[in-house]
Amino acid sequence: MSPGILGKKIGMTQVFRPDGQVVPVTLLKAGPCVVTQRKTPSSDGYDAIQLGLMEYVKPSRINKPIGGHLKKASAEGVKFFRELRLRSGDSDIKLGDRILAEHFKPKDKVDVIGTSKGKGFAGVMKRHNFKGGPEGHGSMFNRAPGSIGASSFPSRVFKGTRMTGHMGVDQVTVRNLEIVQVDIEDNVIMVKGAVPGPNGGYVILRRAKR
Residue 159, domain extent:
120-167
Which of 75, 27, 20 lies closest to 190, judged by CA?
27
CA separation for the pair 200, 108 (Å, rounded): 23
Residues 186 and 163 in one domain: no
**Average pLDDT rounded to a whole number, residues 48-66:** 80
Whether 209 shows a pLDDT value over 70: the answer reads: yes
Residues 163 and 73 in one domain: no
Query: What pLDDT, on a 0 to 100 scale, did the predictor assign at position 154?
Result: 86
Residues 15 and 110 in one domain: yes
Residues 162 and 178 in one domain: no
pLDDT band at 122 (very low <50, low <70, confident <90, very high): very high
CA separation for the pair 145, 148 (Å, rounded): 8
Task: Quick: pLDDT tens for 134-164.
Answer: 888 988 888 888 888 888 888 899 999 999 9
Cα dist. 194→102, 114, 120, 153, 176 in Å? 22, 11, 21, 44, 12
% of residues, the chain, pLDDT over 90: 30
Query: Mean pLDDT in the chain?
Result: 86
pTM: 0.80
Residues 66 and 110 in one domain: yes
User: Phi, psi (5° rounding) for residue 183?
Assistant: -100, 100
Angle 114-61-94 (CA atoms, 0-180°, nearest 5)?
A: 65
Number of domains in the chain: 2
Looking at per-residue pLDDT, the higher value among 43 and 22 belongs to: 22
Residues 101 and 161 in one domain: no
Task: Quick: pLDDT tens for 76-95.
Answer: 777 888 888 887 766 677 78
Residues 75 and 105 in one domain: yes
Residues 203 and 145 in one domain: no
